[in-house]
């Protein structure tokens, strides 16, 4: 999808893990084989059920540089999701500590430990369905899935978090934007699998979100800013 001397960006299909599983090859070994390289370095992760933009470094120096960019919050990521439930609020932010609970699930609590912050807008795309544009400001496991569940809109097909049954889990890594060694890089990847993602109404709305960084995202107070100055 996007091949740079230092890294590669691909469109990961849903329901494929990053690493090998006992019954299925992972996207990482598949890519190594396709690119005829011995190793690629993960610089961020996508859940097995999530499709879309996945970036991998081609050598340790690039991996280290991306690690710094992520840590310094210099990489913008935007996701698309669909829910069959109306949210408690149509736009805003979800912020809370991430706490592991049973059965591989996570939940938000009011602590300042492992804080996850996500901003979002939502749009009605058809009767009973809302499209969410989500900008995670942190990179916690299951962050977006938990955030949307917490506002009453579990992701369609996400049975782990009580989403309505569907042909897939409707979460897709849509856009990534950053500067790398002085070069501005912006990669867009609209979803192309899933009945609700490829419906005319959803595709029309996604077309209108072709520059997600230009939306009026709400200001966020980071926990550490409480003690600033």
Helix, strand, coil fractions of the chain, as percent rounded to 5: 20, 35, 45
Sign of CA dihedral 4, 191, 154, 103: negative
Report the catalytic residues.
Answer: 47
Tell me if 28 sits within 8 A of 18, measured CB to CB.
yes
Tell me, what's the pLDDT at 222? 67
pLDDT digits (tens, 9 = 90+) for 105-128: 999 998 888 899 999 999 999 999
Residue boundaries of the structural domains of the chain? 2-212
Which residue is it, tokens 């049975």? Answer: 159
Question: Picking from 67-81, 83-97, 126-140, 213-227, which range would have the lowest pLDDT averaged per residue?
Answer: 213-227
Tell me, what's the pLDDT at 227? 39
List the structure tokens of 121.
């807008």
**Which of 170, 201, 213 lies closest to 50, judged by CA?**
170
**Which of 154, 157, 173, 177 lies closest to 165, judged by CA?**
157
**Which of 211, 213, 169 lies closest to 191, judged by CA?**
169
Sign of CA dihedral 98, 100, 104, 107: negative
Burial group, residue 200, by CB count within 10 angstroms (0-12, 13-18, 19+): exposed
Beta bridge partners of residue 9, listed in sequence order: 2, 55
User: Which CATH number describes the domain made up of 2-212?
Assistant: 3.30.2350.10
pLDDT digits (tens, 9 = 90+) for 165-195: 999 999 999 999 999 999 999 999 999 999 9
Mean pLDDT score of the chain:
92
Whether the per-residue pLDDT at 3 is higher than 90: the answer is yes
Overall average pLDDT of the 202-211 stretch: 97
């Amino acid at each position: 999808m996007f091949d740079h001397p230092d890294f590669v960006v691909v469109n990961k299909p849903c329901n494929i893990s990053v690493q090998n599983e006992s019954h299925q090859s992972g996207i990482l070994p598949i890519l190594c084989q396709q690119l005829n390289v011995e190793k690629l370095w993960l610089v961020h992760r996508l859940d097995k059920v999530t499709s879309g933009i996945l970036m991998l470094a081609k050598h340790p120096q690039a991996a280290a540089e991306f690690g710094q960019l992520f840590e310094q919050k210099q990489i913008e990521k935007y996701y698309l999701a669909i829910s069959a439930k109306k949210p408690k609020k149509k736009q805003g932010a979800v912020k809370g500590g991430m706490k592991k609970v049973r059965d591989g699930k996570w939940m938000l609590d009011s602590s300042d430990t492992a804080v996850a912050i996500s901003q979002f807008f939502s749009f009605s795309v058809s009767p009973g369905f809302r499209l969410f544009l989500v900008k995670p400001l942190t990179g916690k496991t299951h962050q977006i899935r938990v955030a949307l569940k917490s506002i009453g809109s579990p992701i369609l097909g996400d049975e782990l978090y009580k989403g309505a049954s569907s042909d897939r889990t409707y979460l897709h890594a849509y856009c990534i934007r950053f500067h790398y060694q002085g070069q501005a890089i912006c990669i867009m990847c609209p979803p192309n699998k899933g009945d609700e993602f490829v419906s005319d109404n959803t595709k029309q709305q996604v077309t209108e979100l072709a520059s997600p960084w230009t939306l009026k995202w709400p200001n966020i107070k980071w926990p550490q800013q409480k003690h600033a100055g």
